[in-house]
Amino acid sequence: MKSSSRLALCLPLALAAVLFLAGSHLKLVPGLTAVQAAGQAQAPPDQGPDPASVNQAPDSSAEPAGQSYTTEAPPADQNPDDANYAEQPTATATEPPPPLPQYVQPPAPGDGYIWTPGYWAWGPYGYYWVPGVWVEPPYANGLWTPGYWGFYSGRYMWYPGHWGFHIGWYGGINYGFGYVGLGYEGGYWNGGHFFYNRVYNNINVRTVHNVYSYRANVHVNTAVRPSYRGGPNGVQSRPRPSEGAAYREPTAPRMTTQAQHEQNYGQVRGQYASENHGKPTTPAESRPLRAEPNVKPQQRSSGGGHSGGHR
């Protein structure tokens, strides 16, 4: 009888201890209760509002949310819309870039870093892979809009990425890790702190303290991983009004550290598709890139570019 009494007394205490420890390691999304956060971590079908929706610029369009990504033949009036949605192209090629490789994201190095996905760049020996890497944003609340390859008039053109306060148009490419083709589901800024979505990121809660879990209701085809928009086998998608609104906001081109990152891997033989057959030696870089000082968002010129920076 004494053993039963002791067991009955210990069970509630053990349960309370488990709940306390769980709460001490769980960083709640602002505005959520502990019960809501626990439910969000399980990613149920109805998760409520998407916290990362704030990454898309506000617009007054009545167009429904979401986007269809297919590899069917493009419509007859397919147009890259680059003048209104993307940076000016910085590279051209006559052959399509290889499919995006599957790779593992290195753990986030700490709070405040933004994941910039890997991509195929054009070099003197063809396409080479620029590894994905965590980057410290150049200014507060900065978000990265990746670059993309677009097919137009028989050529493949590279439209470089940029920093901004909202996610712009990146060709509808599913780069993974939260870059699902529209917006960014990997996390969001709130009160000067970045909250990381563990569904899409490799997170160690010992080094990253603001986390949540939310599985976006976005349908993408993961059987094939096209790395360009348009053409016979590329992603078929069109820009959304929110992406146009983001483009018209003040933005900044990639930093010197990012440009150097690309140039460095252009000298590595194992990164070229002709050598690695679509499986680069280094698909992701574990060492993060530091922020470049004195980088400020600026309004674009009438030609679509910035007055300075590295494109």
For the chain (length 311 residues), average pLDDT per consecutive 10? 45 43 36 33 58 87 43 41 76 94 96 98 96 97 96 90 96 95 96 96 94 85 81 88 91 96 96 94 97 89 54 55
Q: What is the pLDDT of residue 238?
A: 87
**86, 99, 247, 106: which is closest to 166 by C-alpha?**
247
Give the single-character DSSP code of 198: T
* Rounded Cα–Cα distance for residues 134 and 258 (Å): 10
Max CA pair span of the chain: 85
Q: What is the pLDDT of residue 143?
A: 98
Which residues, other chains included, contact 253 with Cβ-Cβ below 8 Å and sequence gap of 6+? 87, 160, 162, 163, 306, 308, 309, 310, 311
Domains in the chain: boundaries: 1-45, 68-311
State the DSSP H helix or E strand holding residue 273, giving kind and residue range, or none if neither: helix 273-276
pTM of the model: 0.78
* Rounded Cα–Cα distance for residues 13 and 21 (Å): 12
